[in-house]
Amino acid sequence: MQSRTCKFYIISKLSEHKVYSQTLKQKKLKKDNLLIEDYIENSDLSNDDAGDDHISTGLETPMKKDSIAMSDKEKKVKISHLFKEIMDVLGLDLSDDSLKDTPNRVAKMYIEEIFSGLNPANKPKISLFENKYRYKQMLVEKDITFYSNCEHHFVPFTGKAHVAYVSSGKVIGLSKLNRIVQYYAKRPQVQERLTNQIAEDLKEILNTNDVAVIIDAKHLCVSSRGVKDNTSSTITSYYGGIFEDSAKITELQNYINK
């Protein structure tokens, strides 16, 4: 008799727990739905022009103060979970062999590749050398291919960067110019900011104002959505020190256009 009473008590408690859990889930679902409804009601999601303006808030990439508190491994786990939710909301079947590993692939790609420039630990180590050749003219590294992502729509923009400087007594390895471009490109970006970040970093590294950066890029947020213009490109430039002289700008452009 005691055994039956105990068994009945356990079943009763399990039923209560199940009902309690279902109630909590219903409350959470109701809360989530209210939040979504409130967001939709107060958001101009139907406005075709919303978010098309490309604005930049400053030279520094907008980052949280504790952006590096979480390890890369933890970030990948969290991104994978959240991207899985996005795919689920889109109605994709996550049990399909082609899709089931996509959240992990995206998380790895974000952290290790296309947004690796957000981690200061990935900044290239730079070594300078004495200008023993006494080369006093501009040095130009042109057609540096880069891939970045528009921070407004998280779609790529790609192109070529042209970098020039005049030595103040030190020179930098040519491959390091490419690596500096890649480092600042591998983060959500605005082309104007990317141009200035590369220039300012080179000025500090080389201890000279005689630096120029020109970027010519095509934006998928322009060609694949919105206005859907596949022929236009965007050019930005930075001219510092002697490169502010019109004759030097012409000389630099002649080098680039050869």
Which residues are tagged catalytic? 150-153, 191, 219, 221
Beta bridge partners of 189: 150
Query: Based on C-alpha coordinates, what's the Rg of the chain?
Result: 27
CA distances from 10 to 1, 14, 162, 214, 257 (A): 14, 6, 73, 73, 82
The rounded distance, in Å, linking the Cα atoms of 49 and 86 is 24
CA distances from 222 to 159, 214, 218 (A): 14, 20, 8
- Alpha-carbon distance of 5 to 9, in angstroms, equals 6
CA–CA distances in Å: residue 101 to residues 87, 88, 95, 97, 98: 12, 13, 9, 8, 7
Q: At residue 100, what are phi and psi to the nearest 5 degrees? A: -60, -30
Gap between the Cα atoms of 37 and 33, Å rounded:
6
The SS3 of residue 39 is helix
State the angle between helix axes of 102-109 and 72-89 in degrees (0 to 180), rounded to the nearest 10.
Answer: 130
